[in-house]
């Protein structure tokens, strides 16, 4: 059973106490029942709209700060909103995104954990924790969080996309291909993410030595030129700095493949990475 934060309980009392009082009056004064019931409904609607309006205004203010690259100010706005509405998971999720943009990964991780606490059956918190771990290059931890998300939403393209990214970074070509295809089959229609999925497919096929399939994946990649341009715009923005470490190298390789440059050298490099990883794994097993 989840215990409501004190501020949430106080808000609930402020909303429901007048409603219950008016409904009681409707019971004891039947002649005025319609009047009191109408008043109760009007109070409930009015308080809901007021709280929602204040929340939306604060979020819009934070977004304006974000667009001006005023991340600290945006976080301050969300701090105040979280204090006012501590039971709203979306406030923590948005503030976590702001913390990630500012490089405060510990704070982002705490907020994503709070999202999981409030909404344990939703994928958003688990995916956020996975993204923080990816940003830290802690791929095994990222995989654990992504698998938790997959248990709750096995057909969500965001989950499959995240699992494909992690598998690519871990050099697990077969898993990367499986998850990339699952993300595409799940209805992903964002050009930027589709671009990366086709890049990881090409890389995975090259790692497995299937150059014909890798070339076919490159053709799919080339159909996402607009996605590359959108990524370049994002990475060039002040808010894109934290994504540079995650996607920067991928964008350079995607551009090279789209423009037809360095394809043989990339095939060789990707295949040699797999061969090298296999040798290291064999040596470790031998020492064991």
Contact 204, 218 (CB under 8 A): no
Asked whether residue 238 is domain-assigned, the answer is: yes
* pLDDT for position 7: 47
Asked whether residue 241 is domain-assigned, the answer is: yes
Please list the pLDDT of the chain residue by residue as tens digits (288 residues): 344 444 444 444 444 445 455 445 445 545 544 544 444 454 444 444 344 445 677 777 777 777 787 889 989 988 888 888 888 898 899 899 889 988 899 999 999 999 999 999 899 999 999 999 999 999 999 999 999 999 989 899 999 999 999 999 999 999 999 999 999 999 888 899 999 999 999 999 999 989 899 999 999 999 999 999 988 888 887 777 777 778 888 998 999 898 876 566 677 777 666 645 543 443 443 444
d(CA 165, CA 156): 15
* pLDDT for position 41: 52
Contact 245, 135 (CB under 8 A): yes
Asked whether residue 209 is domain-assigned, the answer is: yes
Q: Which two tokens stand for residue 248?
A: 């920067």
Asked whether residue 148 is domain-assigned, the answer is: no
Q: Which two tokens stand for residue 141?
A: 């931890």
* pLDDT for position 29: 47
Asked whether residue 225 is domain-assigned, the answer is: yes
* pLDDT for position 146: 97
* pLDDT for position 225: 92
For residue 217, give its domain range: 190-273
Q: How many domains does the chain have?
A: 1
| DSSP 3-state of 11 | helix
pTM value is 0.75
The DSSP code sequence of 156-218 is -HHHHHHHHHHHHHHT-HHHHHHHHHHHHHTT---HHHHHHHHHHHHHHHHHTT-HHHHHHHH
Asked whether residue 13 is domain-assigned, the answer is: no
Asked whether residue 247 is domain-assigned, the answer is: yes
Asked whether residue 261 is domain-assigned, the answer is: yes
d(CA 116, CA 93): 10
| DSSP 3-state of 260 | coil
């Amino acid at each position: 059973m989840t215990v409501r934060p004190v501020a949430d309980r106080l808000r609930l009392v402020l909303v429901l106490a007048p409603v219950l009082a008016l409904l009681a009056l409707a019971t004891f004064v039947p002649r005025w029942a319609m009047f009191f019931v109408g008043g109760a409904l009007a109070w409930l609607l009015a308080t809901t709209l007021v709280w929602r309006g204040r929340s939306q205004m604060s979020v819009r203010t934070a977004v304006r700060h974000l667009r001006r690259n005023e991340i600290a100010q945006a976080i301050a706005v969300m701090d105040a909103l979280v204090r006012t509405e501590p039971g709203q998971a979306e406030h923590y999720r948005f503030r976590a995104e702001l913390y990630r943009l500012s490089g405060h990964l510990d704070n982002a991780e705490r907020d994503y954990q709070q999202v999981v606490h409030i909404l344990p059956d939703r994928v958003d918190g688990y995916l956020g924790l996975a993204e923080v771990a990816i940003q830290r290059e802690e791929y095994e931890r990222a995989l654990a969080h992504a698998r938790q998300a997959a248990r709750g939403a096995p057909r969500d393209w965001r989950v499959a996309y995240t699992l494909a990214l992690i598998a690519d970074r871990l050099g697990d070509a077969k898993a990367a291909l499986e998850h990339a295809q699952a993300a595409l089959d799940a209805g992903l229609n964002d050009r930027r993410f589709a671009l990366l999925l086709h890049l990881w497919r090409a890389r995975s096929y090259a790692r497995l030595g299937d150059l014909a399939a890798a070339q076919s994946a490159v053709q799919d990649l080339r159909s996402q030129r607009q996605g590359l341009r959108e990524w370049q715009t994002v990475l060039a923005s002040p808010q894109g700095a934290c994504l540079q470490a995650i996607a920067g190298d991928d964008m350079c390789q995607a551009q090279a493949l789209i423009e037809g440059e360095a394809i043989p050298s990339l095939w060789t490099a990707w295949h040699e990475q797999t061969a090298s990883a296999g040798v290291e794994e064999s040596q470790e097993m031998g020492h064991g």
